[in-house]
Chain A
């Protein structure tokens, strides 16, 4: 059975310990070894902030090398409005509901970061997704929330979205909960915000009753662009937050200070026994590890630091800007991108406190020798990452956020961004750019687009959580 089809059966995935047909895989290893190779990708594709008079769209990219349309954009689902800034997205249901009867992984939840509009997309046919329902911004603002970001399905039939601002685009944000049945808004997920004002990404570990959230800034601060004055004024985040997953209360703030400015993506190991994880501090360009102590409090340390680099054309040293990271389904490798430098790195994390750099690929950016792939200019640099379930192919896109692209890689706003790929050899700890794979969103039908987050039908290492 193809992994491009939803609702994998019990037989296909060896659910020996229960009799319910659920929407995911019983273990991370089952997803890694029993799913088939990805055949199509959903890619968030944007026109916001460009002189292209069109909507953002969900791009469907053919990633099946046996197909005649390999490495091509084979479908585009235009949003009904302009100006959304599609960014991150997620599933109605994943392996966290593996044992739940009657659920299928068949809908994508696709928020607009700027518009605060939330699209519910029927993705049962991975080659032809269709918009089923639209939650208009006014319905979101009624809950004094805006700027939807991370989407996770959670057990008990709910979907939780991190929201970065209040209805005016100021602080604090919070979490919006939707019902999986009819995609109606339940209200706020959290019962007590405690010390949380800023929000960004989150990950949860239901076996240990914990959720970890990170910080960007107020929408009114980061929306217009990155201003160092805002960093100096303390308007950007430097902390992560520990939540009680059961009571939905804020429990603890871990403040990193200068070591952890703008902590963005939060990733925990897929093994549900683990009580630790990593967050990428974009501006400080550090990977910070966090873990639960024996006494139940959480602690942290910086485990990887990317040094700023001198550049002849820049007045100040250039930070790496770690904008995305992910952990392979077997929890052996950590990958992350340095969007300003131009490399993607692969670390062995079998000793979680002492990551070991095993390989890196340079493509585009301010320091990469390679500035073209297959005769396409690389606009931008490695940014949003997605790994194949078997851990053998790493894909990425090169755009960060429309207004921030304009500052650092303005050519993306004129000619769009790209999707690229590297082959991964986990047995050898090696990573190699696939020079035969390039999807140039500059050639998208209707005009250039920015490409952002990537997901596979059937789930991936940044969508699924195990109970």
Chain B
């Protein structure tokens, strides 16, 4: 059963996409031409990091690029994530930058 995922960029842009059964969020955003960033497509690189604001989203393979503190903070890797309900997710290149700050500043 498809779920409607609402994507929110920090600049104010918003879009919705229907994610099909057994489809990752990135597969769906690419199909819809929404330009959500991604890299490795297997959960290692975290380029596709989003932040789950609402709903049930599961990782279908291990999100290696996230540390426990990131997962506790709601961060998700959209290339290996499938919705189990309608969701709201914060997306865009800036979200990845939340993961690791400049350690010396």
A binds B: yes
User: Which A residues are within 8 Å of any B CB, using their own CB?
Assistant: 48-53, 82-85, 114-116, 137, 146, 165, 168-170, 219-220, 223-229, 313-319, 402-403, 406-408, 410, 413
Inside 8 A of A408's CB, which chain B residues have their CB? Answer: 102
A403 CB contact (under 8 Å) in B38, B47, B67, B94: B47
B64 CB contact (under 8 Å) in A48, A49, A84, A170: A170
C-alpha spacing A30/B28, complex, angstroms:
54
Known: A169-B44, A318-B104. A115 touches B37 (CB 8 A): no
The answer to whether B104 and A114 touch across the interface, beta carbons within 8 angstroms, is no
Inside 8 A of B92's CB, which chain A residues have their CB? Answer: 51
Residue of A nearest to B102 (CB): A407
The answer to whether A83 and B39 touch across the interface, beta carbons within 8 angstroms, is yes
Known: A83-B37, A114-B39. A223 touches B65 (CB 8 A): yes
What would 22 A/B residue contacts be, using CB atoms closer than 8 Å?
A48-B39, A48-B47, A49-B37, A49-B96, A52-B35, A85-B47, A114-B39, A168-B42, A168-B64, A220-B45, A224-B100, A225-B100, A226-B100, A227-B100, A229-B67, A315-B105, A316-B105, A319-B104, A406-B96, A408-B102, A413-B93, A413-B97
Inside 8 A of A315's CB, which chain B residues have their CB? Answer: 104-105
Inside 8 A of B42's CB, which chain A residues have their CB? Answer: 168-169
Residue of A nearest to B43 (CB): A169
Inside 8 A of B93's CB, which chain A residues have their CB? Answer: 49-51, 406, 413
User: Which B residues are within 8 Å of any A CB, using their own CB?
Assistant: 9, 30, 33-35, 37-42, 44-47, 49, 64-67, 92-94, 96-97, 99-105
B37 CB contact (under 8 Å) in A50, A224, A228, A407: A50
Residue of B nearest to A52 (CB): B35
B40 CB contact (under 8 Å) in A115, A228, A318: A115
Inside 8 A of B101's CB, which chain A residues have their CB? Answer: 407
Q: What's the least CB distance linking A460 to chain B, in Å? A: 28
Known: A51-B35, A314-B105. A224 touches B96 (CB 8 A): yes
Most chain A CB neighbours (cut-off 10 Å) among B40, B49, B65, B67: B40
Given contacts A48-B37, A82-B38, A407-B103, 19 further A-B contacts (CB under 8 A): A48-B47, A51-B9, A83-B41, A83-B47, A114-B45, A115-B41, A168-B44, A168-B64, A169-B65, A223-B40, A225-B100, A227-B100, A229-B67, A314-B104, A314-B105, A318-B104, A403-B96, A406-B96, A407-B97
C-alpha spacing A52/B66, complex, angstroms:
23
Inside 8 A of B103's CB, which chain A residues have their CB? Answer: 226-228, 316, 407
Q: What's the least CB distance linking B13 to chain A, in Å? A: 9
Interface secondary structure of B, over-half rule: loop
B44 CB contact (under 8 Å) in A85, A223, A413: A223
Residue of A nearest to B35 (CB): A53
The answer to whether B37 and A51 touch across the interface, beta carbons within 8 angstroms, is yes
C-alpha spacing A316/B102, complex, angstroms:
11
Q: What's the least CB distance linking A135 to chain B, in Å? A: 16
Q: What's the least CB distance linking A364 to chain B, in Å? A: 16
C-alpha spacing A380/B37, complex, angstroms:
21
The answer to whether B99 and A225 touch across the interface, beta carbons within 8 angstroms, is yes
Known: A48-B37, A49-B47. A224 touches B65 (CB 8 A): yes
Residue of B nearest to A227 (CB): B100
Pairs A-B, 3 closest by C-beta atoms: A53-B35, A169-B44, A225-B100
C-alpha spacing A116/B41, complex, angstroms:
10
Q: What's the least CB distance linking B28 to chain A, in Å? A: 15
C-alpha spacing A115/B105, complex, angstroms:
31
Inside 8 A of A170's CB, which chain B residues have their CB? Answer: 64
The answer to whether B44 and A220 touch across the interface, beta carbons within 8 angstroms, is yes
C-alpha spacing A291/B45, complex, angstroms:
35
C-alpha spacing A229/B99, complex, angstroms:
13
Q: What's the least CB distance linking A147 to chain B, in Å? A: 8
Inside 8 A of A82's CB, which chain B residues have their CB? Answer: 30, 38
Inside 8 A of B46's CB, which chain A residues have their CB? Answer: 223-225, 403
The answer to whether B100 and A407 touch across the interface, beta carbons within 8 angstroms, is yes
C-alpha spacing A35/B32, complex, angstroms:
50
C-alpha spacing A114/B39, complex, angstroms:
6
C-alpha spacing A168/B66, complex, angstroms:
14
Q: What's the least CB distance linking A69 to chain B, in Å? A: 30
Inside 8 A of A406's CB, which chain B residues have their CB? Answer: 93, 96-97
C-alpha spacing A223/B41, complex, angstroms:
12
Residue of A nearest to B49 (CB): A224
The answer to whether B40 and A83 touch across the interface, beta carbons within 8 angstroms, is yes
Residue of A nearest to B45 (CB): A223
C-alpha spacing A51/B92, complex, angstroms:
6
The answer to whether B47 and A402 touch across the interface, beta carbons within 8 angstroms, is yes
Known: A50-B37, A83-B40. A114 touches B100 (CB 8 A): no
Inside 8 A of A318's CB, which chain B residues have their CB? Answer: 104
Q: What's the least CB distance linking A149 to chain B, in Å? A: 14
